[in-house]
């Protein structure tokens, strides 16, 4: 079946380095992709999103890249800080024309650990 | 803060019982979705409500049901609890206008333990 998954379950980086978290998706009909950050004991927090008509989108210290050819999504975090330590999820969905479609499919997540 | 609150934060129930979890969405958000997150896994979509009607459902049995109210609050009901229902239950609200949809904002979740 189609699924959303992540390449690496854990990632450890040094404070100040850049982090790259990868995600593979297999549903070619998905047109909206989101990255969430989840800290222990909290709900997922929106980081950045991208629609399928784009291949790159930048936010504050974060960049999401979308490669539709190989169905790959990545999250880049610049100058990683200890506060970035969390589990990161990619999610995909198909936005319907009328309703806001929130039946997102999440991957298992990548745990990012930032070493001081 | 996301403006989405869930109650209770923790709950312990016995197998076979029924449970109701509550969510208060951001004001004006007409769409609410519920997710189940097992330990160490990503959230799984249960169902979505738009303007008080269910308009999408994941692979969950009918004993999972929901309600959405005009005051932007919603409920998730689970009947005949099973041990495997132990998980973090998340609600997410958003504004579905059809023209400029907002991203989904999650609450902090309700940790349900079934014993």
User: What is the per-residue DSSP string for B54-72?
Assistant: EEEE-S--TTEEEEE-TTS
Alpha helices for chain B (secondary structure H): none
Dihedral of alpha carbons B87, B93, B94, B95, sign: positive
Give the DSSP letter of residue B101: P
**Are the C-beta atoms of A85 and A77 separated by less than 8 Å?**
no
pLDDT band at B81 (very low <50, low <70, confident <90, very high): very high
Query: pLDDT digit string (tens) for A27-42?
Result: 888 888 999 999 988 9
Residues of A in contact with B105 (CB under 8 A): 46
Q: What is the pLDDT of residues B14-72, one digit of tens each?
A: 999 999 999 998 888 888 999 999 988 999 999 999 888 998 899 999 999 999 999 88
Contact at 8 Å (CB) between B86 and B113? Answer: yes
Mean pLDDT of B84-96: 92
For residue B99 the two structure tokens come to 């023209």
Secondary structure string (H, E, C) spanning A34-101: EEEEECCCCCCEEEEEEECCCCEEECCCEEEEEECCCCEEEEEECCCCHHHCEEEEEEEECCCCCCCC
Q: A55-68 pLDDT, tens per residue?
A: 999 999 999 999 99
Residue A103 pLDDT grade (very low, low, confident, very high; cuts 50, 70, 90)? confident
Q: Which residues of B touch A103 (CB under 8 A)?
A: 33, 45, 48, 56, 58
- Local confidence band at A3 (pLDDT 50, 70, 90 cut-offs): very low
Facing residue for A43 by CB, picked from B45, B102, B107: B107
When scoring B25, B43, B44 by the number of chain A Cβ atoms within 10 A, the one with the most, hence best to mutate, is B43
User: Looking at residue A1, what is its pLDDT?
Assistant: 35
Range with the poorest average pLDDT among A29-33, A95-99, B6-10, B40-44: A95-99
Looking at residue B62, the DSSP 8-state letter turns out to be T
Q: B-chain residues within 8 Å CB-CB of A106?
A: 35, 42-44
DSSP state of A2: -
CB contact under 8 A, A41 and B94: no
Q: Give B110 to chain A, closest Cα distance, Å.
A: 9
Q: What is the pLDDT of residue A93?
A: 85
Residue A70 Cα, gap to closest chain B Cα (Å): 22
Cβ distance B104 to A45 less than 8 Å, yes or no, reads no
Cross-strand partners of A45: A37
CA distance A89 to A47: 10
From A3, A86, A78, A84, select the one nearest A39 (Cα to Cα). A86
């Amino acid at each position: 079946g189609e699924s959303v998954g992540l390449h690496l379950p854990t990632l450890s980086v040094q404070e100040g380095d850049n982090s790259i978290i990868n995600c593979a998706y297999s549903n070619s009909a998905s047109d909206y992709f989101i990255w969430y950050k989840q800290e222990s004991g909290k709900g997922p927090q929106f980081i950045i999103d991208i629609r399928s008509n784009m291949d790159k989108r930048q936010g504050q210290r974060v960049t999401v890249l979308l490669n539709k050819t190989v169905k790959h999504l990545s999250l880049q975090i610049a100058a990683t800080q200890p506060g970035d330590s969390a589990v990161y999820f990619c999610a995909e969905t198909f936005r319907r024309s009328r309703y806001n479609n929130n039946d997102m499919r999440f991957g298992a997540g990548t745990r990012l650990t930032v070493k001081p | 803060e996301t403006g989405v609150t869930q109650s209770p934060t923790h709950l312990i129930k016995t197998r076979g019982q029924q449970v109701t979890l509550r969510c208060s969405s951001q004001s004006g958000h007409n769409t609410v979705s519920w997710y189940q997150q097992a330990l160490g896994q990503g959230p799984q979509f249960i169902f979505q409500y738009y303007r008080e009607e269910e308009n999408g459902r994941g692979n969950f049995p009918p004993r999972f049901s929901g309600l959405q109210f005009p005051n932007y609050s919603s409920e998730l009901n689970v009947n005949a609890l099973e041990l495997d229902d132990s998980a973090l239950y998340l609600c997410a609200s958003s504004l579905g206008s059809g023209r400029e949809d907002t991203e989904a904002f999650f609450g902090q979740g309700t940790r349900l333990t079934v014993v």
